[in-house]
Amino acid sequence: MSDHHTSSQASAQSGAVPSSRRRFLKDAAGVAGGAGLLALGAGLYARQASALPATAIRPPGALAEADFLAACVRCGLCVRDCPYDTLKLARLGDGVATGTPYFEARKIACEMCDDIPCVAACPTGALDHGLKEIGKAKMGLAVLIDQENCLNFLGLRCDVCYRVCPVIDKAITLERIHNPRSDRHAMLLPTVHSEYCTGCGKCEKSCVLPGEAAIKVLPIKLAQGSKAEHYLRGWEEKKAAGESLIGKQVELPVRGLEGKAYGDTRVAPGEGPAAGEGAVPDYKPPSRPGGVDSGWKP
């Protein structure tokens, strides 16, 4: 209506018949520009907000985040079929792409159902139906992120994260190590193995610390570095080949270490060059925290 008004004004000023084609082009450009700006805004917002918060874990079988955001139609069928109310749909303002499913391990962890009902419910393939065994799921990776407050790292026997792990002794093991503080106890350190961890979050959920957990499930991208493909791991190569790749090496004796295994250069107290003649002036053997050769390496 207002366009009509302004164009008739313009034609009255110029005294010419307004070109309907020019008016159409002008209107179309305005309309298209406005619509384009709106869509551009939506697109930029989507792009900018697509960074997933580290505590938001996708359901099992979820495609990589970029593909997931193309595949998920935000219908919530996975949420409906989750028997433990673990999954929820992101609401506007939750920081996760609006309407997409996620869970927070510290609130409700994934119970790792054998039949994976959430994956079966997905109509679009945002959750990959190729995932048949929940043990192969990679929702995230547990990381014992706070070694200062973890009770096991303080030398206590909490072990809760290890005990609740559905893949106990594979995904989380307790690694025994000397406690250098007391020098007479062991520390059993919960250790996550990425090969077996599904990212279910039971460990994070059960961590006994009052607020934040010492062990957290993170998106794999955050939890893991990239593998250094250009470094060959000698011990793996040796195992694969059945023998050392460089063949048997000539073992030359080392003076003073004749009684030890080849390559063992550690010196126990009382061993080594005697004080007196030939000794290094003012040399004192390094003091060891444990008083004995504990083998503790920080």
Please identify which residue in 52, 57, 62, 72 interacts with another protein, judged by CB under 8 A. Answer: 72
Say whether residue 81 binds another protein (CB under 8 A): yes
For residue 140, give every residue at least 6 positions away whose Cβ sits within 8 Å of its Cβ, in sequence order, or none.
Answer: 57, 105, 199, 201, 217, 218, 219, 220, 223
3-class SS of residue 179: strand
Nearest CA to 292 out of 188, 180, 154, 153 is that of 180
- Under the criterion CB under 8 A, does residue 39 sit at the interface with another protein? yes
Rounded CA separation 91/103 (Å): 12
Of 11-19, 81-89, 224-232, 283-291, the window that binds another protein (rule: CB under 8 A) is 81-89
- Select from 16, 17, 21, 70 the one that contacts another protein (CB under 8 A): 70
- Residue 4 touches another protein, criterion: CB under 8 A: yes
Number of residues that bind another protein (CB under 8 A): 50
Residue 132 touches another protein, criterion: CB under 8 A: no
SS3 51: coil
62 contacts another protein (rule: CB under 8 A): no
Residue type, 246: I
Among 9, 19, 124, 182, binds another protein (CB under 8 A): 124
Sole residue written with tokens 């093991």: 173
CA nearest neighbour of 79 among 51, 107, 100: 100
Cβ–Cβ under 8 Å, residues 201 and 143: no
Min dist CB 84 to another protein, Å, is: 15
DSSP structure class, residue 243:
S
Half-sphere exposure for 65 (CA within 13 Å, toward CB): 20
Asked if 77 touches another protein (CB under 8 A), the answer is yes
Is position 83 an interface residue for another protein (rule: CB under 8 A)?
no
Binds another protein by CB under 8 A, chosen from 19, 25, 26, 47: 47
Binding site for another protein (CB under 8 A): 1, 4, 27-28, 30-32, 34-36, 38-40, 42-43, 45-47, 49-50, 66-67, 69-77, 79-81, 88-94, 97-99, 121-125, 129
